[in-house]
C-alpha cells in the first residue's frame, strides 16, 4: 500500500534516533567500565576486567546491593499492597469518589526535589511538624532518624511509597473496571464472601496488570537515585547507600569513574537477569 512507505520511514527514523540517543550512551557507560580513570576528562587507562574483580571483591558493593534489594523490595511490596487497597476502596460505592481519586493521585505529580524538600521541612529538628509529632508520641529514636541507619532507611522507603503508590493505584483501578460483573455475581450466588471473591476472581483477572506494574516498579525502584540522595545522601554511615549512590560516589567523590561505570554495568546486568527470570517464571501471554 502506498501510505506504508511514509509510515516505514517515520518508523525507522524513530528507531534510528532512539538507537543513537539511548544505545550510544549505554554503550559509552559500559565501555567506561573497562578503563581506569580519575575523572571524566582524565586519559583513561585500559584495565580489562580489573575493575570488575575489584568491585565484586569489595564488601561495600555487596552491602549496597543488599540494601538496594531491601529498599526496592520493601518499597514495591508496600506500593502494591497500598495501591491495591486504595484501588479497591476507590472502586467501591463511596461519596466523593472523583475528588478522592484526584487526591490519591496527587503525590505522583510532585517533582522528587519538591517532595524531598517538603519532607525535610516536616522533619526539621526543631520545628518540623512530624518531628514534634513523633516526639510527643514517644518515638524519640524515630524523631532523630538522621542518626540511625535503620530509621533513615524507613524514611526513604516511606517517602518512596508515598510518591509512587498512585501509579499502582491507577493501574489497578482501571483494571478493576474491566473485570466482568457477572463473575462476581456468580461467585456471590455460590456463597463466596468478599475476601474469597477478591482472591479467586479479582487477582487472577488482574494478573497481567499486576505483572506489568511489578516489573516497571522493580526497575524504577532499584535504580532510584534522586530521592535517596536528596533525603539522606546515602547515610548515615552508608545506611541508605544502594548501588546507584555507590556508583555516584565512586565516580564523583572518589575520583574513580571506571569503578562507578563498573558498578552501574553490574547493576544493569543484575536487573536484566532478574527481568529474564521474571518473564520465564511469569510469562505474559501477549508479549513478544
Partner 1 sequence: MSEKDKKGSKSENIGITEKEISRRKILQGMGAVAGTAALSLHAPYIHAKQKEIRFLNGEPSVQSVRAMRFAAAQYEKETGIKVQMDTVPAGKAFEKVQTSIKGGRPYDIATLIFVGDVLLLAGENKLVPLNDIIKKYDWGPNILFPMDGNNYWYPYDYNLCWINYRMDLYEKAGLKEPQTWDQLNENMTALMGDGENKTKQGIVHPIASSGATNYTSFGYLWANGVSLLDDDWNVVLDDEKNLGRTVEYLEHFQSMVPMMPPGLAKAGWGILVGGIQNGQLSHCPGTGRLIDVINVKNSELASNLGIFPFPSPDGSNVALNHGYDGWVVLDTAMSDEALRFMEWFSDEHLINFLHTSPVHYQPTRMDIYEDARWLSHPDIEKFSHITSWQKRFLTDENVIIKSIDTEGPYPDMRAGKIFRSYALPEMLQNKVLKGMPADECVKIAADKMREVIAG
Partner 2 sequence: MKKTSTRIGIGIIVALMVTYSFFPVYWMLISGLREYESLFSSISLVPGPFSTASYTQLLELTDYPTWFLNSVVVATGTVLITLVLAIPISYAVTRLEIRFKGAIVGTMLYAYMFPPMLLAIPLYSIFVDIGISDTLLSLCISHTTISLPLGVWLLWGFFKQLPFDVEEAAMVDGCTRLKAFFYVVLPLSLPGIVTVAIFSFLLSWTDYTFALVMIGSDSLKTLPAGLDTISGWYELQWGELMAGSTLIALPLLVLFLFLSRYFIHGLASGALKG
Give residues in contact with partner 1 (CB under 8 A).
Answer: 38-43, 125-126, 143-144, 146-148, 232-237, 252-256
| Close Cβ partners of 176 (under 8 Å, ≥ 6 residues apart) | 87, 88, 91, 202, 206
**66 lies in the binding site for partner 2 (CB under 8 A):** no
Measured distance CA(267)–CA(20) in Å, rounded: 22
Alpha carbon 2 to its chain centroid, in Å, reads: 44
Instruction: Kindly report the backbone phi and psi dihedral angles of residue 279, in degrees, each rounded to the nearest multiple of 5, phi listed first.
Output: -70, -35
Within 10 angstroms of residue 263's Cβ, the number of other Cβ atoms is 29
Per CB under 8 A, contacts with partner 2 among 156-215 are 162, 166, 170-171, 173-175, 177-178, 208-209, 212-213
Binding to partner 2 (CB under 8 A): which residues in 133-152?
A: none
125 binds partner 2 (CB under 8 A): no
Work out whether 114 is an interface residue with partner 2 (CB under 8 A).
yes
Binder to partner 2 among 43, 46, 94, 190 (CB under 8 A)?
Answer: 94
**Partner in contact with 181, chosen from partner 1, partner 2, none, beta carbon below 5 to 8 Å by kind:** none
- Min dist CB 172 to partner 1, Å, is 27
Cβ-based neighbour number of residue 254 at 10 Å: 12
Q: 35: which strand partners?
A: 46
Q: Does 26 bind partner 2 (CB under 8 A)?
A: yes
For position 220 contacting partner 2 by CB under 8 A, the verdict is yes
Amino acid at each position: 500500500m502506498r501510505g506504508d512507505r511514509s509510515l516505514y520511514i517515520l518508523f525507522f527514523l524513530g528507531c534510528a534516533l532512539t538507537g543513537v540517543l539511548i544505545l550510544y550512551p549505554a554503550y559509552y557507560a559500559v565501555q567506561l567500565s573497562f578503563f581506569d580513570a580519575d575523572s571524566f576528562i582524565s586519559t583513561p587507562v585500559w584495565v580489562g576486567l580489573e575493575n570488575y574483580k575489584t568491585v565484586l571483591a569489595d564488601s561495600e558493593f555487596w552491602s549496597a546491593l543488599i540494601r538496594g534489594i531491601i529498599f526496592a523490595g520493601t518499597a514495591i511490596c508496600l506500593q502494591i499492597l497500598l495501591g491495591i487497597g486504595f484501588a479497591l476502596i476507590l472502586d467501591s460505592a463511596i461519596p466523593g469518589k472523583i475528588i478522592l481519586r484526584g487526591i490519591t493521585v496527587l503525590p505522583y505529580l510532585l517533582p522528587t526535589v519538591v517532595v524531598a524538600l517538603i519532607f525535610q521541612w516536616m522533619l526539621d529538628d526543631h520545628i518540623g511538624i512530624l518531628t514534634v509529632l513523633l516526639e510527643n508520641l514517644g518515638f524519640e529514636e524515630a524523631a532523630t532518624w538522621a542518626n540511625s541507619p535503620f530509621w533513615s532507611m524507613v524514611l526513604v522507603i516511606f517517602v518512596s511509597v508515598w510518591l509512587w503508590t498512585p501509579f499502582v493505584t491507577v493501574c489497578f483501578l482501571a483494571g478493576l473496571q474491566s473485570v466482568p460483573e457477572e463473575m462476581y455475581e456468580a461467585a456471590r450466588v455460590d456463597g463466596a464472601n468478599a475476601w474469597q471473591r477478591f482472591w479467586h476472581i479479582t487477582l487472577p483477572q488482574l494478573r497481567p496488570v499486576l505483572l506489568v506494574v511489578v516489573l516497571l516498579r522493580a526497575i524504577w525502584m532499584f535504580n532510584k537515585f534522586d530521592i535517596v540522595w536528596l533525603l539522606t545522601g546515602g547515610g548515615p554511615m552508608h545506611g541508605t547507600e544502594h548501588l546507584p549512590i555507590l556508583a555516584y560516589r565512586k565516580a564523583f567523590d572518589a575520583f574513580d569513574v571506571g569503578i562507578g561505570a563498573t558498578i552501574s554495568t553490574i547493576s544493569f546486568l543484575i536487573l536484566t537477569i532478574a527481568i529474564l527470570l521474571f518473564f520465564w517464571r511469569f510469562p505474559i501471554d501477549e508479549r513478544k
